[in-house]
A = this chain, B = another copy of it.
């Protein structure tokens, strides 16, 4: 029985995302993926060369989609200040991470193990992500819209705040009894981020 190639490939990706997310990359076998996807094991090698190739495909797809969305903030939406743009971008980031929460978690986890692939992802996509936000902040500082602030420090903390609930959703669930995927929580998260930003932009602070 032949199947549409597009469908088979997609089913493998979906199964892999689910299993990599819940069990980790090394904790997942190609057989489990094939079984969950309802396809033959050999098809993983056919479409993705090997298990690592499948992981790489998922990671690249995720970041390409993220940057398409962030580019949309720059060009599509109307923003009347850099502060406004920054808020748009941060909200987009939070919502993207929430929407693709499984890939978000699995990427961050695999990023934390020492590997070639992790290093490549960091040097390309994470460096780009940092630059997207740092550039806007730097521009705001230069134009006098923002007070002088340590750009890198702000970006690190923005990354920390926005990623935490989606890399450790179980902590949010089992320690704080909140549901990180609820729209209510997402709005709360966006609010937190806005507040943090607002504080950073308040000149009277001692933040250096």
Which A residues are closer than 8 A to B by beta carbons? 22-24, 26-27, 105, 108-109, 111-114, 118-119, 122-123, 126-127, 130, 152-153, 155-157, 159-161, 163-165, 167-168, 170-172, 174-176, 178, 188, 191-192, 195-196, 198-199, 202, 205-208
* Alpha-carbon distance A172/B111, docked complex (angstroms): 12
Q: A113 contacts which of B109, B171, B206 (Cβ < 8 Å)?
A: B109
Chain copies in the assembled complex: 2
- Contact A126-B156, Cβ < 8 Å, known A22-B114, A164-B164: no
Q: Are A108 and B168 in contact (CB under 8 A)?
A: yes
* Alpha-carbon distance A26/B167, docked complex (angstroms): 19
Q: Are B27 and A113 in contact (CB under 8 A)?
A: yes
Within the complex, the shortest CB–CB distance from A141 to chain B, in Å, comes to 17
Q: Are A122 and B174 in contact (CB under 8 A)?
A: yes
Q: Are A167 and B27 in contact (CB under 8 A)?
A: no
Most B CB contacts (10 A, CB to CB) among A130, A152, A175 go to: A175
A178 — nearest CB in chain B belongs to which residue? B152
